[in-house]
Amino acid sequence: MSNSFDDIPFFDEEPEPRRPQSRGAAAPAQAGAPATGGLGIAARAMAARDQNRTSIDYLSGLNPEQREAVETTDGPVLVLAGAGTGKTRVLTTRIAHILATGKAWPSQILAVTFTNKAAREMKERIGVLVGGAVEGMPWLGTFHSIGVKLLRRHAELVGLRSDFTILDTDDVVRLIKQLIQAEGLDDKRWPAKQFAGMIDGWKNKGLLPPDIPEGDARAFANGKGRELYAAYQARLRTLNACDFGDLLLHPIALFRKAPDLLKEYHERFRYILVDEYQDTNTAQYMWLRLLAQRPKGVPQNVCCVGDDDQSIYGWRGAEVDNILRFEKDFLGAKVIKLERNYRSTEHILGAAGHLIAHNEGRLGKTLFTDRSDPDDQKVQVHAAWDSEEEARAVGEEIERLQRGDSTDGKKHALNDMAILVRASFQMREFEDRFVTLGLNYRVIGGPRFYERLEVRDAMAYFRLVCQPADDLAFERIVNTPKRGLGDTTVRALHDYARARDIPMLAAASDMIETDELKPKARKALFDVVQMFKNWQERLENIPHTELAEQILEESGYTDMWKNDKSAEAPGRLENLKELIRSMEQFESMRGFLEHVSLVMDAETNENLDAVSIMTLHSAKGLEFDTVFLPGWEEGLFPHQRALDEGGRSGLEEERRLAYVGLTRAKHRCHLWFVSNRRIHGLWQSTMPSRFLDELPPAHVDVAEPSDSSYGGYGGRGGYGQSRFDKAEPFANSYSTPGWKRAQANKTDATRDNWGSRSGHAVERIGYGESGPRGRTIDGELVAKSVSATPSKYFVGDRVFHIKFGNGNVTAVEGNKLTIEFDRAGEKRVLDGFVERVKT
DNA sequence: GCTCATCTACTTTTT
DNA sequence: GTAGATGAGC
């Protein structure tokens, strides 16, 4: 690409909305931009287009549909972009095109994404296209970050001050817990976490306390749900704080309250673009509708890009309906489908397409590709005996690919491979295995950097220095490190503060003058108050990173970890250093705090060659040469809970998740299912996922194991046969003895891969030291088999288990047996899976 | 007020 | 199975 965009004007902030066409002397040229004889890029671009359309280099290389999506700038457009069809390219080129043709200034384009990552990527890619002018796109960001921007400007209209704090989930839960206790309710019977979830759900729907359904209101806190929600909102206001939902709801309220202001924004935003439209929730939809309104006759230049087949966030409020309804919402909308896929092989697309066709209520797209290579591998379905073997076999295949021993004979980088799991507990076994093998891996997802205990503690100090009214921060750190300021003191402070309607830090300042507190607490509190006074004085006078260091030193916080002998302590100190290092990029402590509350995801170390392990959800938008999809079993995938709670639509969302998984693969895709999996610490027999049945045989190979000795399911435990035994459309190839053998694939022969290589590296992106490990799923399988009926087995019984062989029952608890197996040692299993052995 | 032991729950996760 | 949350005891 060229520098031909160099002289696109840009604005740091708030240019007067003006007609680009009337530009000229008014346009501030970008520093260093060459003078172009008075002819701006827009004019040049348009001239070029008029002469010869293909001469505009940023448009070349687009296929006709993509090009249409880029060039249809006026009027509503819905771009249905299938996986791997160049969605981001269309979005970024479209913005470049709008700029190049002089239809709008950078500051007149509103471009919304869902994640910070997507926003960052878009900025970078536009930057490449336009050559830096993207700095002047102040309205490119996530719904939430744009919401913050609007609110900071107009906070007073919704009863906030413009320096409001943004609370994260953790703060919210603590706050709600206080409210529940203040109401005199039992916080065990009414868990704060659950209520936080309910509030989040309401806010996703755009509902404030008066709007929530009566049933919802009654379902919590002895029917006081609505009051509690209202109390929460009131408390946020006194704290001058917002939760994430408010960042959407307040702007909506604001626009409704001040139509003139809304009109200003209408004039400002000539073009609106929304990425991942299938993931928008009702509140975001309302927000968008308000901003997209135009008087009659004025075109609504709204372009939404999305893929209904990749909607996987229904459970957190996303409304696929928004995308399905687009044409009704925006009359005269043009719908452009992108179906030409540039990512995957025919087989992968064929498998994914056939699978997703089982869903109803789609807009209907079929991906196709020009590539056709007889050497392309079909999607491979593998069976393993249990999850341990699954991990072992995946590890072997990865090593084969790495060595170049695999089918294509080429060596593959670990960076090009990924394991995508349905639930994070599945990651563990792969990690264990890879540690054993000395295989580099990186785990993506889970709690982020700023969610770590030490980072949050440090942040609480910083917040309180900047925002003395931040009671949540105050409560978090008054007694961290330990200062002898326990519950009693904090409660006293709390009551004092609430009674006088002042912040707790101020209350502390008052109370040290009285003799309400014990001398010991009083002294400790005096020190705390003094420290904060000191820091606040320094806030404007010394560099913020220096102050941050001093705060952590003087508060004794770093010492607390230095004196901690636990294994995590050094890592925590390292994280604190990292936190301060990352502050350097910001102008002030306030600027930093704002950033952290909204963004701050860990970056991947691109230099490390490692296999990625992540959930299917976090894999959306990514692609890998080889993709491993383990755990395709009923109850896990589709997840039992999705079926129980979501019914048919739940199943369809699971299927979309499967579709997302398959379409991540460029060249090789391996599916796995196991016959035995440990669920809630108990070994369970499992059935292959119905999604396997929904794959087209033409694009799928069933991997044959090398040897076999298969015991069969044996109809134990009330599950009957494998569904693959039933006569189903594609069941034939799966019900052959070979297939059954595949399910029984044993790999004792493969047990010799032990020992660790040197230089083994593990990267944990976004995971704290204690990620969600060892979690298991709740499923029908368990619900069915764990019954109240006492077991027919007794201590001392000799039994046989399909996985572990013979053993003696050593304990019976309902139908859960503890068995000492002759070879496998002590295990807990359900009695449905063992047989009494005659002795 | 702090520490250890028992109890409990347990998909997905962004902002 | 296991982490995190709570409650009794020091």
Q: Concatenate the DSSP letters of all residues of A585-651 into one string.
A: TSSSHHHHHHHHHH--PPPP-TTS--EEEEEHHHHTT--EEEEEE---BTBBTTBHHHHHHHHHHHH
Q: Is A142:A119 a contact under the CB 8 Å cutoff?
A: yes
**Protein CA at A424 to nucleotide C1' at C6, angstroms:** 26
At residue A469, the pLDDT reads: 87
At residue A483, the pLDDT reads: 84
Our CA angle for A262, A25, A97, nearest 5°, is 60
At residue A578, the pLDDT reads: 83
At residue A803, the pLDDT reads: 67
Summarize pLDDT for A630-664 with one digit per residue, the tens: 999 999 999 988 888 888 889 999 999 999 999 99
**pLDDT, average across residues A471-476:** 86
Among chain A residues 674 through 703, which have CB within 7 angstroms of nucleic chain C? 678, 680-681
Any idea which residue has 């239809």 for tokens? A103
Residue of A7, A243, A246, A276 marked catalytic: A276
At residue A839, the pLDDT reads: 65
CB-based contacts of A796, cutoff 8 Å, min separation 6: A808, A809
Closest-lying nucleotide for A177 based on CA to C1': C5
**pLDDT, average across residues A460-471:** 90
**pLDDT, average across residues A65-79:** 94
First to last CA, chain A: 80
A315 Cβ within 7 A of any nucleic strand B atom? yes
The rounded distance, in Å, linking the Cα atoms of A44 and A41 is 5
**pLDDT, average across residues A386-409:** 90
Whether A749 shows a pLDDT value over 60: the answer reads no
Residue of A7, A65, A73, A87 marked catalytic: A87
At residue A765, the pLDDT reads: 62
Q: Is A815:A785 a contact under the CB 8 Å cutoff?
A: yes
Whether residue A796 is annotated as binding a ligand: the answer is: no
Which nucleotides of strand B come closer than 7 angstroms to any CB of the protein? Answer: 1-2, 10-15
Say which range, A20-29, A41-50, A532-541, A788-797, has the weakest mean pLDDT.
A20-29
Whether A91 shows a pLDDT value over 80: the answer reads yes
CB-based contacts of A124, cutoff 8 Å, min separation 6: none
Q: Is A583:A548 a contact under the CB 8 Å cutoff?
A: yes
**pLDDT, average across residues A761-779:** 38
Among chain A residues 767 through 786, which have CB within 7 angstroms of nucleic chain C? 770, 773-776
Strand partners for A685: A676
Whether A740 shows a pLDDT value over 50: the answer reads no
Tokens of A707: 């040897």
Among chain A residues 149 through 168, which have CB within 7 angstroms of nucleic chain B? 168
Between these two residues, A787 and A168, which has the higher pLDDT value? Answer: A168
Whether A39 shows a pLDDT value over 70: the answer reads no
CB-based contacts of A765, cutoff 8 Å, min separation 6: A442, A443, A444, A445, A602, A603, A604
User: Which amino acid appears at position A188 of this protein?
Assistant: K
Q: Is A829:A817 a contact under the CB 8 Å cutoff?
A: yes
Separation in Å, CA A41 to CA A2, A45, A452? 12, 6, 48
Between strands A271-274 and A109-113, the pairing is: parallel
CB-based contacts of A676, cutoff 8 Å, min separation 6: A385, A386, A387, A683, A684, A685, A686, A802, A803
Among chain A residues 611 through 630, which have CB within 7 angstroms of nucleic chain B? 614-615, 617-618
Our CA angle for A289, A291, A297, nearest 5°, is 85
Q: Is A806:A820 a contact under the CB 8 Å cutoff?
A: no
The rounded distance, in Å, linking the Cα atoms of A72 and A94 is 9
Residue of A310, A467, A480, A626 marked catalytic: A310
At residue A359, the pLDDT reads: 92
Whether A273 shows a pLDDT value over 90: the answer reads yes
Between these two residues, A32 and A268, which has the higher pLDDT value? Answer: A268
A590-604 burial, b at 16+ Cβ within 10 Å, e below that, comes to: bebbbbbbbbbeeee
Of the pLDDT bands very low, low, confident and very high (cuts 50, 70, 90), residue A623 is very high
A645 Cβ within 7 A of any nucleic strand B atom? yes
At residue A381, the pLDDT reads: 95
